[in-house]
Amino acid sequence: MNLYEFEGKQLFKDAGIATPKGVVVRREDDIAVAYNSIGGDVVVKAQVLSGKRGKNGGIVFCRTVEEVETAVAQLFAAEIRNQHVAFVLIEQKIDISSEAYLSITYDSTARQPVLVYSAEGGMDIEDVSEDKIQKIPLSITQETIDTDIPFANELWQCFLQNDCRVAEINPLVTTSAGEHVAADAKIALDDDAFYRHEEWSTFEPRTMMGRPPTEREIAVQEIDKGEKYYQGTAGKYIEMDGDIAIIFSGGGASIAAMDALMQAGLKPANYTEYSGNPPREKVAALAKIVLQKPGLRGLWMAGAVANFTNVKETFQGIVDALDEVKPAYPIVVRRAGPFDAAGMALLKECAERNDLDIVMFGKEVSVGETVQTLIEKVNA
C-alpha cells in the first residue's frame, strides 16, 4: 500500500522525524478554519500517490486565506498526473537553506535493505551523479545505523516497525536556523504484513489510480481475506474505462501485453493478474468479477511460459467462472507451462458446452501476435 504524504508524515512523527506543521482538508471542510490554524505563508499540496507534483501544478504557495481557498478549490477540481486529488495538505512554509535526499528501500539484487543518501536532494534527485550518492547496506537484525546522516536511525526504525517496502524523505531540508525537517514523505507498506498492523485499517481506501476504489475493486480485495493458505491472487485488479476484459498470469510480460493491447487501439476494462499457484476457487472468484463488468466486448487471457504455475488448476478456476457467466463476447487465450495441454482441454470442453467463442494459442504464438486475433474478433 502506498501512503499519501500526510499519512507518511504521521509515521515519521511517531518515529521522531520532524515535519512541518500542517492540516489535511477534504472537500467538505472549512478551508478558512484550517488555514487559520497555521497562518502566515503556507504551501498547499495536492495529496496524490504519484510524484512530480511540483512540476504538474500540484503544489501552490499562498500568503492569505483567500489565496488558500482558491488554491484548494483548484486542486480539488484538477487531476495531477491523471490522478484524483483525494485530500489537500495545507502546510507551514519552511525557510530552506539546503536540501538533501534520504531513503531506505530494498535492494532486490543484494536481497537486503539499503539506505540511500545524497547531500544534493530535491525534485531532481534522478539527475544527481552516482558518485555523489551514498549507499549503506543494512540488515534487519541491526538496531541502529552507524552514521551521522540526519534522521537515518529514526527512518530505520520507521522502516522496521511499519513493515515498509520504501521510506523516503525527499527533500530532507535544513532550515536557515539549522534544523532538519522532512518536507515530504513517500512510504510504501508491505501488503503481506497487514495481519500484524490492525492500525492500518484506519487508512482510507485507495487505488493505484489515485482515486477511491470502485465497488468491483473492493469486491476483489475481499477474495484474499479469510484463510491464509494463499495470498496475492487479487492483489492486482485495477478497474479502467475500456471494454476489453483482461486476465493476465503475472510477471513482466503482463505490462508488455498491456502496452501491446493499447498500441493496437483497444481499451482495457481492467488490469488484472494472478501469479504463483493460486487455488481454483480464488481464480474463479477473481475471474467472475472481471467477466461480469458491464459493457465488455471481449476477454484477453494472456501469459508467458510458466515455470511453476499449474496451468490446469488455474484454468479450472477460469472454467468455473465461464460456466457461470457464459459470456457472449469473444475470448482469446495465450498460455503455456506445466499441464497446459490439460488446461486447454478443459477450456475447449467449456467452450463446447456453453457455446463460447474461444480461440486458444500456446507458446508457438507470441503474446503480442494474439492481439491481432482479438482485434479481428471484437470488430467482426
Q: Using one digit for the tens of pLDDT, what is the confidence trace for 333-372?
A: 999 888 999 999 999 999 999 999 999 999 999 888 899 9
Identify the band that residue 123 occupies on the pLDDT scale cut at 50, 70 and 90. Answer: low
- Name the residue among 358, 156, 360, 367 with its Cα closest to residue 259: 367
> The cell 457464459 sits on which residue?
326
Which of 270, 286, 159, 175 shows the shortest CA–CA distance to 221? 286
Extract the C-alpha cell encoding 254: 503482463
pLDDT the model gives residue 231: 54
What is the rounded CA–CA span in Å between residue 284 and residue 321?
5
Kindly report, residue by residue over 233-292, the tens digit of the pLDDT. 555 788 999 999 999 987 667 888 888 899 899 999 999 988 777 888 889 999 999 999
| Domains of the chain: residue spans and CATH | 21-92 (3.30.1490.20), 96-195 (3.30.470.20), 215-378 (3.40.50.261)
Q: Are 261 and 268 in contact (CB under 8 A)?
A: yes
Q: 220 falls in which pLDDT band (50, 70, 90)?
A: confident
User: Residue 226: what pLDDT?
Assistant: 59
114-130: average pLDDT: 80
pLDDT digits (tens, 9 = 90+) for 64-103: 999 999 999 999 999 888 788 889 999 999 999 999 999 9
- Strand partners for 25: 88
- Percentage above 90 pLDDT, the chain: 63
- Determine the Cα–Cα distance for residues 337 and 315; give it in Å rounded to an integer: 12
In 10 A of CB 147, how many CB atoms?
13
For residue 53, which of 76, 33, 80 has the smallest C-alpha distance?
A: 80
Strand, helix or coil for residue 378: helix
Q: Parallel, antiparallel, or unpaired: how do β-strands 236-239 and 270-273 relate?
A: antiparallel
Note the pTM of the prediction, 2 decimals. 0.69
211 neighbors 235 (Cβ within 8 angstroms): no
How does pLDDT run across 163-199, given as a tens digit for each residue? 999 999 999 999 999 999 999 999 999 877 888 998 9
Do 183 and 109 contact (CB within 8 A), yes or no?
no
Over residues 21-25, the mean pLDDT reads 97
| Host H or E run for residue 298 | strand 298-305
**pLDDT on residue 249:** 83
Per-residue confidence (pLDDT) for residue 354, from 0 to 100: 97
Identify each DSSP E strand in 112-217 by its residue range.
112-118, 133-137, 164-175, 180-182, 186-189
For the cut 80, the answer to whether the pLDDT of residue 122 exceeds it is no
Query: Residue 90 carries which side chain, given as an amino acid letter?
Result: I
Q: What is the pLDDT of residues 309-331, one digit of tens each?
A: 888 989 999 999 999 999 999 99
Specify burial of residue 308 (Cβ count, 10 A radius: 0-12, 13-18, 19+): exposed
What are the two backbone dihedrals, phi and then psi, of residue 15, each rounded to the nearest 5 degrees? Answer: -90, 0
Percent with pLDDT over 70 in the chain: 94
Q: Which residue has the higher pLDDT, 141 or 308?
A: 141
- All 3 cell numbers of residue 132? 555523489
What's the pLDDT at 52? 82
Query: Could you tell me which residue, 188 or 228, shows the higher pLDDT?
Result: 188
Instruction: Report the Cα 368 to chain-centroid distance in Å.
Output: 25
What's the confidence (pLDDT) of residue 70? 97
Structure confidence at residue 184 (pLDDT): 96
Quick one: pLDDT at residue 201?
A: 83
Asked if the model's pLDDT at residue 227 lies above 70, the reply is: no
